[in-house]
A and B are shown apart, each in its own frame.
Chain A
Amino acid sequence: QKEVEQNSGPLSVPEGAIVSLNCTYSNSAFQYFMWYRQYSRKGPELLMYTYSSGNKEDGRFTAQLNKASQYVSLLIRDSQPSDSATYLCAVQYFDSWGKLQFGAGTQVVVTP
């Protein structure tokens, strides 16, 4: 079993819809949780990161962390065609800074 699991998709939604992405992890020692966005033939770019249970908002993006249930989710409101990309969940141990564990990524397609 992988330590970080994501649905591979693709997830296709119409423009303006809410996109909900989920990531589960198996090791409670993980402390930092990140969402990266990766466009085709580009490197991942950091969208958001969090370390405390609850919601964290940044514009149209909300990261939700539930440590008790060991999952982190990403919501994208009012989705745009420019949001079409692969979204990668990443987790990190508190005492192993720099050693990120990535999920396989979920491909999102937003259709106009």
Chain B
Amino acid sequence: DAGVIQSPRHEVTEMGQEVTLRCKPISGHDYLFWYRQTMMRGLELLIYFNNNVPIDDSGMPEDRFSAKMPNASFSTLKIQPSEPRDSAVYFCASSPDGSQVPQHFGDGTRLSIL
């Protein structure tokens, strides 16, 4: 079975540019999570969706960040405008509905803002 698929795997861009990260969750999983991982702050939950609806976005750092889930098989995390401090690895994870077994992670997008 295919796991969580993220694209691109690497992104290097200049400060001020718009960045869009993409995620395809595991088929049949109704929960989708976006995380950010840095050396300083570790792994942090940014936002999560249930059945395509955002449930908690309290981890989104500021208005420059936005996330959407237009359908059950696709989500985006957008940063506009990007800043060097946004450099991190961004992970997407998904989980089945109603399950207490935690999340399955993708392999992440390594983002560098110059």
A residues bordering B, Cβ < 8 Å? 32, 34, 41-46, 49, 88, 90, 92, 97-100, 102-105
Contacts and interface: CB of A to CB of B under 8 A. Distances in A.
Nearest to B105: A43
B91 A43 contact: yes
Contacts of B44: 102
Given A34-B102, A49-B102, A99 B4 contact: no
B43 interface: yes
Nearest to B9: A41
B95 A98 contact: yes
B108 interface: yes
Tell me the interface secondary structure of chain B in the complex: strand
Interface of B: 4, 31, 33, 42-45, 48, 50, 55-56, 91, 93, 95, 100-108, 110
A104 to B, nearest CB: 5
B101 A98 contact: no
Contacts of B105: 43-45
Given A98-B33, A98-B55, A98-B56, A92 B93 contact: no
A42 B107 contact: yes
A56 B91 CA distance: 28
A77 B108 CA distance: 29
B42 A104 contact: yes
11 contacts: A32-B102, A34-B102, A41-B110, A43-B93, A46-B104, A49-B101, A49-B102, A98-B33, A98-B56, A98-B103, A99-B48
Given A44-B43, A103-B42, A97 B107 contact: no
A58 to B, nearest CB: 13
A8 to B, nearest CB: 10
Contacts of B108: 41-43
